[in-house]
Amino acid sequence: MAKKESLTPLGRIEHLIQLIRDHRVILDADLARLYGVATKALNQAVKRNRKRFPPDFMFRLTEEEKNEVVTACDHLSRLRFSPVLPCAFTEHGAIMLANVLNSERAVKASVQVVRAFVRLREVLASNRELVHKLAELERRTASHDEQIQAIFEAIRQLLNPPEPPRKKIGFRVRDGRSTHGVERRGGHR
């Protein structure tokens, strides 16, 4: 019986959280399983306490959203032929739902659900920080490519120095003077 009472591990709850309409949510079927109640009973409790579930706590999926969720999540394939559109609960909605259900298991499971939402927020925050740091590094090193290419070109030039200009053999006369310091005075030598 202890196994039946055990809660779902945090990692498995994190996989139930989905992004729908820019909100991180868990669907009613998944929460019902976590809280140990039937989905129908869960939705009836929501109907009886509708004022406790404003749109930022819970919303009903559209037919298109339902189809996307069913396609993306194998464990929700049973919803494919359900005539009822599922409800999506935000972190606050999941907590409120546990209070409405008022069972020991729902309260314990809601703590795990909140932890999963918090952990997901932390992971996303660290990813944002990593993305920011990467963008900063990219910005700082953008001009480095040109500078590195210039360094390589300078190294290549040092490794392959241009050939010095060849001096012509013989004497050259400029303004009556030889280039070797010997003056030329009429006639041949």
| Lowest-confidence region among 3-17, 57-71, 124-138 | 3-17
What pLDDT sits at residue 57?
93
The yes/no answer on whether domain 9-137 falls in CATH 3.10.260 is yes
Q: What is the mean pLDDT of the chain?
A: 78
Q: Angle 101-19-110 (CA atoms, 0-180°, nearest 5)? A: 25
Q: Where along the chain do its domains lie? A: 9-137
87 contact partners, CB below 8 Å, separation of at least 6:
27, 28, 43, 46, 58, 59, 60, 61
Does position 59 have pLDDT exceeding 90, yes or no? yes
Decide if 180 contacts 173 (C-beta within 8 A).
no
- Residue 111: per-residue pLDDT: 77
pLDDT at 165 over 80: no
What is the mean pLDDT of the segment spanning 54-58?
93
C-alpha 24/C-alpha 38 separation (Å) is: 22
| Residue 51 DSSP class | G
Q: What pTM, to 2 d.p., does this model score?
A: 0.57
Per-residue model confidence (pLDDT) at position 10: 58
